[in-house]
Amino acid sequence: MSIDEVGSPLETSKTKGTRKRPAKVRKHAITGVGSRELAAFLDKLHAEGGTVLCINQSLSVGGNYEIVSYKES
């Protein structure tokens, strides 16, 4: 699986579910956030039920972070 665009959500491989329990799908996203908005973004992501995989500091732009996260639906 490859990432087409930064910030676009991607779906993982779909598994079969049942009528009572549909299969869960993870939607991954890579988001660029400035250092001043980082805490607010993480709070919003947590409130929406998202999970952070990693936070990388951008070397080319000072004070920016790339956040890799996913949400299950």
The domain limits of the chain are 25-72
**pLDDT at residue number 69:** 96
Q: Find the distance separating the first CA and the last CA of the chain, reported in whole Å.
A: 19
- Confidence (pTM): 0.64
Q: Buried b / exposed e across 22-54, counting CB within 10 Å, b at 16+?
A: eeeeeebbbeebeeeeeeebbeebeeeebeeee
| Chunked mean pLDDT (size 10), the chain, 73 residues | 46 64 86 93 95 90 90 87
